[in-house]
Amino acid sequence: MDEKERTIHTQVKPSSYLPLTEPTFYILLCLAPEKKHGYAILKDVEALSNGNVSLSTSTLYGALGRLLDQGLIERVPNDEEENTGPGLPRKAYVLSKAGRRVLEAETSRMRALVAAARLCLGEERT
Amino acid sequence: MKRSVQILMRLYTRLLNLYPRQYRAEYGEELQAVFSLLVDEAAQRGRFSVIRLGWRELCDLQGAVIREYLRERKRAKMETLASAQTGDERSSWGETLAGLWLFLFLGPVSVIMAYLTMPAWFQYSETPKYLSIIFVLSMLIGLGVGWAKGWPRWSYPYIGFAVVVLGGLAINAVFSMVFTVGPEWPVLPQIFIAVGVLGLMAGILMLIARAWRPLHSLYRAIRQDWTRLSFGLFTGVSVLFGGVDHDEDPIFTLNVFVPSLIVLVGALVYLRSTTKAQRILALLVSLTLAVAVRVVGGKVFYGTYGAVVGVIVLIPALLELMPRPARSLQAG
């Protein structure tokens, strides 16, 4: 994807990407603190979702490719010492600015949903 | 256990070949590395974990492969449209050949087939059905592939040919309604009606492309570079110059052959050009030369016909010379 297309995507409103699917949300979420390679993403997604979301390699790389096309993540060399080793992927993924905005927008959306649900459920109980 | 892990890894590597080539080149190594780590981890938990992992990958793979092919197709379409916006793409030799096929077949090949090499059963005057079938099949394949690939430049002759075929049917219908009296049709009205119908068909094509969502990409591509429509209609010139007088006078073979060859070269230069100015020039020069040869060769009627058709063909391309507001890329 060239720079021009990426610029277009960063100009798109974060809300236009919402709602995110559960795997997409977890992938973006696990990339929020730092860059990670594919295997680390798989493991983190599984851990963050308490084992509820377990991605296959094809689903993971399909999602990563789509997120790259949308400019929500970036692909960088996997050159940090703890991430390099025999058999580990040579590329890593990092959340872009646009990706962070989308993740924040989705979190706000879900927070509003939870607040509404709490309110309704609380009213039902009383 | 080690053996089953090796078999699974080999199977996975083979299955990766199902993905599009570009995708494999980009992610193949990573997919293998991650899968290898997952298999090692599953192997430590036991055989059942390895089987479960293999099964899950197999189930997910089919959908993922289809999605990647669709995404690659979409990306190719977007690239075609993006390059149309800059207008500086040059067709590859494969695309050039695809774009020249109709010009080649309608022009020089038809002439050679009709008079020089092919047996009598293949000649125009004997059994036009054979050539008609090839033309129609070529047109349908060209239109289908062109549509699937987002209307690259080489596909426009097929669109133009479809317009010319439909236009021809309409012209015949009009002529049979209008010119019913007298032994010969008057020449000038004939020319103007035929050319008017061709222009009308091109206009209808644009209206349909604008109104019908599946053809929006065609409408956008033409709006971004009007020489594309001219190039499509240029096929009409090839039909006009290549498809007349075969059974009338064999002496005119050269007079049919040379203009067809000029039109073919014009199409070749058009496809290999990188700027709109070059493309307009390719159409203009080849049209002028073809008409001139036709007139000098003694066929003033078809020369005049070609000149009027040429004007219609060139009108869309000349729109590119008019100043237009700066375009901006829109997302989505």
Domain extent at residue A84? 3-10+18-125
Smallest Cα distance from A112 to chain B, Å:
27
B3-7, B52-56, B137-141, B304-308: least confident range: B304-308
Find tokens 């927070």 and name the residue.
Answer: A111
**Residue B330 confidence (pLDDT) above 50:** no
**Residue B104 confidence (pLDDT) above 70:** yes
**Residue B41 confidence (pLDDT) above 80:** yes
Percentage of residues of chain A with pLDDT beyond 90: 63
> Of the candidates B31, B36, B331, which has its C-beta nearest A11's C-beta?
B331
* B178 or B159: which leads in pLDDT: B159
Chain B residue closest in CA terms to A91: B30
**CATH code, domain with A46:** 1.10.10.10
Contacts of B61 in chain A (CB under 8 A): 56, 58
A71-85, B110-124, B177-191: least confident range: B110-124
Cis bond upstream, residue A19 (ω within 30): yes
Between vectors from CA B273 to CA B271 and to CA B275, what angle results, nearest 5°?
125
| Structure tokens given for A121 | 């459920």
Q: Are B272 and B301 in contact (CB under 8 A)?
A: no
Q: Give the pLDDT confidence of B127-143 residue by residue, as tens digits.
A: 456 667 887 888 899 99
Which pLDDT belongs to residue B331?
A: 36
Between vectors from CA A109 to CA A106 and to CA A115, what angle results, nearest 5°?
140
Across chain A, the runs of DSSP E, i.e. the strands, are: 73-77, 91-95
> Of the candidates A8, A65, A88, which has its C-beta nearest B33's C-beta?
A88
Q: Are B39 and A94 in contact (CB under 8 A)?
A: no
**Residue A27 confidence (pLDDT) above 50:** yes
Which pLDDT belongs to residue B312?
A: 84
Smallest Cα distance from B64 to chain A, Å:
6
Smallest Cα distance from B92 to chain A, Å:
21
Contact across the interface for B34 and A38, Cβ inside 8 Å:
yes
Share the mean pLDDT of chain B: 79
Contact across the interface for B29 and A90, Cβ inside 8 Å:
yes
**Residue A92 confidence (pLDDT) above 70:** yes
The letter for the amino acid at A60 is L
Contacts of B26 in chain A (CB under 8 A): 65
Contact across the interface for A61 and B31, Cβ inside 8 Å:
yes
Which pLDDT belongs to residue B238?
A: 76
> Of the candidates B34, B63, B82, which has its C-beta nearest A39's C-beta?
B34
3-state DSSP helix/strand/coil percent for chain A, to nearest 5? 65, 10, 30
Contact across the interface for A69 and B37, Cβ inside 8 Å:
no
0.90 surpassed by pTM: no
Coil, helix or strand at residue B198: helix
**Residue B231 confidence (pLDDT) above 60:** yes
Chain B residue closest in CA terms to A10: B331
Contact across the interface for B34 and A69, Cβ inside 8 Å:
no
* Average pLDDT of span A40-53: 93
Domain ranges in chain B are 2-75, 91-319
- Contacting B with CB below 8 Å, chain A residues are 4-5, 8-9, 11-12, 16, 37-39, 42, 54, 56-62, 64-66, 69, 87-91
- From the list B305, B231, B299, the residue with the least C-alpha distance to B270 is B231
**Number of domain units in chain A:** 1
> Of the candidates B26, B27, B331, which has its C-beta nearest A12's C-beta?
B331
B71-80, B136-145, B258-267, B276-285: least confident range: B71-80
> Of the candidates B64, B82, B332, which has its C-beta nearest A59's C-beta?
B64
- Spell out the SS3 assignment of B123-191: CCCCCHHHHHHHHHHHHHHHHHHHHHCCCCHHHHHHHHHHHHHHHHHHHHHHHHHHCCCCCCCCHHHHH
**Residue A123 confidence (pLDDT) above 90:** no
Reported as a pLDDT band with limits 50, 70 and 90, residue B178 is low
Complex-level ipTM: 0.84
